Amino acid sequence: MGPQHPSTHGVLRLMVKLDGETVTWCEPDVGYLHRCFEKLCESKTYPMVIPFTDRTDYISAMINEQCYVEAVEKLFQGAITVPERAQYIRVLMAEVNRIASHFLALGSNAMDLGAVTPFLYCWRDREKVYSIFERITGGRLLYNYLRIGGVRNDLPEGILGTPEDGEEKADKTFWGFINYLDNYVIPQWDGLVTGNRIFQWRTMNVGCLSAADAIAYSTSGPVLRGSGVKWDLRKNLPYSIYDRFEFDIPVGKENGDCFDRWLVRVEEMRQSSRIVKQAMKWLAETPGETLGKVPRILKPPKGEVYHRIESPRGEIACYVASDGSPNPYKVKWRSPCFTHLQLMPKVGPGHKIADIVAILGSIDIVLGEVDR
């Protein structure tokens, strides 16, 4: 299934051996989108790397930036403090980005199985997020908004909105979008796709992954939680200020299949909306600074740091090694989709070709992240 294929979510080449219609061997061939991210970082200064991190997982760009920026802030070992308002803004943007990324994951998963309408709904709803983010950061898909020490600028006036905002304000204010999400979008996903018999036939008992296998194959995020392991880096290894928020972690059953991962993603959108409401409440009440005191040329002390965060696809981690100069010595980007592709040789064989597409959709890969 070559690099140009409508269902492989980008330029992924899957080499598949077939016996009739059943797959006997399946191996991914990646590297078609390799853009030398790690080598580039070594010739840039620390702030210059932030736009490059956007472009690894271009669907949820804020979360990538958050991983890199927090890793570098840790390298400074307390010399840089991030103001509280900036932390809350980061969480707000990350969670809205998580919701938008799940729209795309669910939409493309449904389209791969033949349902084209949810895919268009996914873009209609993502456009609302793009409009809001454009008012704040200037960018629709790739933002370059987080800075080492805070965020670039404060939220503009009126972007938070009031809890009474309705659907017509969904692309203008955060509250309008959250009300639109809770009252219309999530019930629409449940009503249209989750309860649909054809969808359930195609995803139940397809791509079963036991919890022990999931841990052995280094999966994380919805794939791991869909297999029954209640592990979420926002709760188990709290970073940023996630320990101040109240939210639950949805988990699938022990032998997770594609349907479990779908349900985990839908439920995660509900939980993200809870976090966004709590963040908006704080932000509306408390003004403050959004960028801490940062030296003009950033030269972190010599050291290494490994920072892991929870992205919509799994665990993104950033291993930054510094040798005291303004350029990073080494930035290793641990991408969840790259690690999840190792599941294809394990989970693929035994299924039909059409099920391979369902499994690939439920693992939710983004090739920019796989190849960096």
Partner 1 sequence: MDFLKEKYPEAQIGTLVNGDTEILVDKKDYESAVRACYEAGYTFCSVLSALDWKDRLTVVASLSRINPAEVGARNIHVKVDLPRTGAHVASIAKLYPGANFHERETYDMYGIRFDGHPNHRRILLPDNWQGGHPLLKDFVDKRPKRPRLVRHRFEE
Site for partner 1, rule CB under 8 A: 30-31, 34, 36, 38-39, 74-75, 77, 215-219, 224, 229-231, 235-238, 303-308, 315, 317, 319, 321, 329-330, 332, 334, 338-339, 341-342, 346, 371-372
* Closer residue to partner 1, CB minimum distance, 73 or 171: 73
* Closer residue to partner 1, CB minimum distance, 305 or 357: 305
For 126, the token pair is 């993502």
Q: Name residue 235's amino acid.
A: K
Q: How far is the CB of 352 from partner 1 (least distance, A)?
A: 24
Contact predicate 136/122, CB 8 Å: no
CA 39 to chain centre: 23
* Closer residue to partner 1, CB minimum distance, 173 or 219: 219
Q: How far is the CB of 12 from partner 1 (least distance, A)?
A: 13
Helices 258-285, 84-112: axis angle to 10 degrees equals 150
For 360, the token pair is 């690939």
Q: Name residue 201's amino acid.
A: W
Exposure class string for 222-256: b at 16+ Cβ within 10 A, else e: bbbbbbbbebbbbeeeebbebeebebeebbbeeeb
User: Measuring CA to CA, which residue among 192, 191, 256, 196 is closest to residue 222?
Assistant: 256
For the chain, the straight-line distance linking the first and the last C-alpha, in angstroms and rounded, comes to: 21
Q: How far is the CB of 56 from partner 1 (least distance, A)?
A: 13
Q: How far is the CB of 331 from partner 1 (least distance, A)?
A: 10
Q: How far is the CB of 230 from partner 1 (least distance, A)?
A: 4
* Closer residue to partner 1, CB minimum distance, 133 or 338: 338
* Closer residue to partner 1, CB minimum distance, 124 or 346: 346
* Closer residue to partner 1, CB minimum distance, 58 or 319: 319
Contact predicate 319/330, CB 8 Å: yes
Q: How far is the CB of 174 from partner 1 (least distance, A)?
A: 29
* Closer residue to partner 1, CB minimum distance, 155 or 233: 233
Q: How far is the CB of 87 from partner 1 (least distance, A)?
A: 17
User: Measuring CA to CA, which residue among 289, 364, 371, 320 is closest to residue 50?
Assistant: 320
